[in-house]
Structure 1
Amino acid sequence: MNLTLPVVIGAVLGLGIYALVRALVPSKRGAVATVAQIDAMRARGALYESPSRAAQQDEDSGRFGTFRAGVGVRIADFYRQQGWEQRSLRADLNVLERSWENFLATKILLGAAGLFFGPFLFAIVWTLGLGSGPVVPVWMALAFGLVFFFLPDLEVRRDAAERRRDLRRVIGAYLDLVAMNLAGGRGLPEALMAAAEVSDGWALRRIRNTLADARITGISQWQALGALGEELGVEELKDLASALGLVAEDGAKVRDSLASRAETMRHREMAEIEGSAGEKSQSMLVAQLLLCAGFLVFLIYPAAMRVFQGA
């Protein structure tokens, strides 16, 4: 038994190191696999590409940045070979305008740091004489490695949810501006672009860049808005693109459709705000009840102890 346990621990650690090396060092692919990968990337299109090469190069400065960029490219290539698309996570990163490769590198490096942090914490506890046993550091390393590995996912999903709420508010105001421009006699393409030029916020900047790219590539602007909604995971933009594609030739119908959609989005936003306020009120009520219960226990405990001791 004394010999079996170190062998099992060494085998688990060796398997983890082997899996990490296999993930970081890409295997040599044949010509058929390379052509299939290029075709798959071309079919997916720009939807799954990093948002900005310039932003990625700004992030990848210095030796650590270069190392992280290399790790991210290899991990992204590994994901691509396995066919792991992670659509929702990519949409969250696109909303936050972050690089997919840097995100993967951050996950791997944090997971590796967690593997070392667990045994390091155990060494501190063992030095204080509070723990013993060779299995504990292994489990601590695995636990901290998993927690650190999934921390970036939680952060990205939280920040993306907040930014999508801001985007939906901007879209509601944007639809009103487009309807006002249409009422002023402008055509739909001019109204869409003019409404996007009223502010330099990140949401209208993304819409403005999308409309400008649509003019260059030759596709309709509502198709470009639908692609942006698919890229960012925002259903409102995809529904708007579908509605504009149906009534694009009739200015009055477009105006009515945009006004009704803006009103619907405002009502939905108000309902969400009221629901959030209700949840916070309930949380405050629970906290007050717990505080009162603790205060009552603090008052009753001395008297109760005297009664039981006297009995």
Structure 2
Amino acid sequence: MTGIVLLAGLGTGLGLWLIVVGWFPRRPRLDRALDAPYGLARAADPNTEGQPAGWTGRWGRPAVRWLRRAGLPLASTRRDLAAVDKPVDVHLAEQATAAVCGLLLPPSACALLALVGAGTGLTVPAAASLIFGVVGFLAPELSVRSEAAKHRAAFRDALSSFLDLVVISLASGSGVDQALDDAAKVGSGPAYTELRYALTEARLARVAPWDILAALGRRVGVAELQQLAATVGLAGTEGAKVRTSLRARAIALRARQLTDAEGEANAATERMALPIVALFAGFLIFLGYPAVAAVLSGL
């Protein structure tokens, strides 16, 4: 009995130590800090085979090749990973680590309960392990999907102002390329950073900026950016006047954002109705229970 208690204490101490190490990692070495641009460039590639970042990525790395052979991740998940610039290997490693943690959590809890004499049998831990394993495996998937949706929404918000700035630059007599560069330099935030990087890449590679913007729109999953690239491409190749078209696209994009915001507000209002109804029902129960109890006791 003493040996089991010592083993449980050792495992608990090791787990707490790992949690502290994961929450408060030590500072990187100077040579690794100097190599940070190279590491960030590899991390931006969704198909990189480099070392996954974080303890969940390191622990789940051996299972990455098996998950790849199983056809994971799906095409929709790959698009979401590309939108948030998260490597596929890191995502799969996190899924594997979360699934294993979910599988081991119920047996560990049942073992601790058995030490104090509260046995639960084998059926409950086995069923709970399967449920927690599936939930742990799907948790990184849902997290990436939520992050990608937020990133696309923020990108659309920035694109609306970017279109307005492009229209203003075109109205002042600037060319298409100059208008795009000037508009990208004004704004701030992740979306404007990606736009500036794409336009700089187009300038250095001596390719049409609308081609790079279209590629960025496909990677991020923002159809409005692809439409912008197509419209600007007509101006660059066919000489079409696009100022009116871009202004119309900006107005339509803002109208869509306003509609989405109103829909989210209405949905939040409807979700608030359920807690209010539950509170009202509980209030009625507390008021009516003494009277009902008195009537029933008098029968």
TM over 0.5: yes
Deviation at 1:297, TM superposition (A): 1.2
Task: Report what 2:142 is aligned to.
Answer: 154
The correspondence of residues 118-157 of structure 1 with structure 2, limited to 5 A, is 118-157=106-145
Structure 2's unaligned 5+ residue stretches are: 1-41
Query: Residues 113 and 145 of structure 1 are in contact (CA less than 8 Å); yes or no, is this contact kept in structure 2?
Result: yes
- Corresponding position of 1:104: 92
Structure 1 contact 178–191 (Cα < 8 Å) conserved: yes
SS at structure 2 position matched to 1:245: helix
1:251-284 residue CA offsets vs partner (Å, 9 max, x unmatched): 7731111111111111111111111111222222
Q: Aligned with 1:133: secondary structure?
A: coil
Match of 1:245 in 2: 233
CA distance 1:251–1:175, shift in 2 (3 Å): farther
CA offsets 1:158-209 (integer angstroms, 9 cap, x no match): 1221222111100000000011111111111111111111134111010111
Q: How does 1:64-83 map to 2 (within 5 A)?
A: 67-68=58-59, 71=61, 75=64, 77-78=65-66
Verify the 8 A CA contact 2:52 2:61 in the aligned structure 1. no
Gaps of 5+ in 1: 1-48
Structure 1 residue corresponding to 2:187, chosen from 177, 182, 199: 199
RMSD: 2.9
Give, in whole Å, the separation in 2 of the partners of 1:66 and 1:290: 42
Moved more, 112-121 or 132-141: 132-141
Measured in 1, the distance between the counterparts of 2:66 and 2:111 equals: 34
Q: 2:259 aligns with which of 250, 268, 271?
A: 271
Report the Cα offset of residue 91 of structure 1: 2.7
- Name the CA shift for 1:233/1:129 in 2 (closer, same or farther; >3 Å): farther
One-letter code aligned to 2:194? R
Deviations 1:229-249 (A, max 9, x none): 111111211222223233435
One-letter amino acid matched to 2:125: P
Match of 1:51 among 44, 47, 51: 44
The change in CA–CA distance for 1:81 and 1:241 in structure 2 (over 3 A counts) is farther
CA spacing shift, 1:281–1:66, aligned 2, 3 Å: closer
Deviation at 1:144, TM superposition (A): 1.8
- Cα 1:82–1:278, aligned 2, differ >3 Å: closer, same or farther? closer
- Partner Cα distance (1:150, 1:300) in 2: 44
Partners of 1:59 and 1:80 in 2: CA distance: 15
Cα distance between partner residues in 2 of 1:94 and 1:292: 46
Q: Give the counterpart of 1:259 among 241, 247, 270.
A: 247
8 Å Cα contact 1:188/1:251 also seen in 2: no
Cα distance in 2 for partners of 1:280, 1:150 equals 25
Deviation at 1:295, TM superposition (A): 0.7
Please give the alpha-carbon distance, in whole angstroms, between the structure 1 residues aligned to 2:114 and 2:216.
54
TM-score, length of structure 1 as denominator length = 0.73
Q: Structure 1's 157 and 121: CA in aligned 2 closer, same or farther, altered over 3 A?
A: same
Bigger shift: 301-310 or 141-150?
141-150
Contact 2:52–2:93 under 8 Å retained in 1: no
CA 1:65–1:145 in structure 2 vs 1: closer, same or farther (change >3 Å)?
Answer: closer
Tell me if the contact between 2:167 and 2:246 (Cα under 8 Å) persists in the aligned partners: yes
TM-score of the superposed pair, with normalisation by structure 2: 0.75
Amino acid of the residue matched to residue 147 of structure 1?
V
Change (3 A) 1:268 1:233: same
Matched residues, percent identical? 35
Q: Residues 138 and 307 of structure 1: is their aligned pair in 2 closer, same or farther, counting only changes over 3 Å?
A: closer
2:177 paired with 1:189? yes
User: Cα 1:164–1:304, aligned 2, differ >3 Å: closer, same or farther?
Assistant: same
The correspondence for 2:103, drawn from 115, 120, 123, is 115
Equivalent residue for 2:23?
A: none
Structure 1 residue corresponding to 2:286, chosen from 276, 298, 301: 298
Q: 1:6 — aligned with what?
A: none
- Runs (4+) of structure 1 exceeding 6 A deviation are 55-59
Aligned residue pairs, count: 257
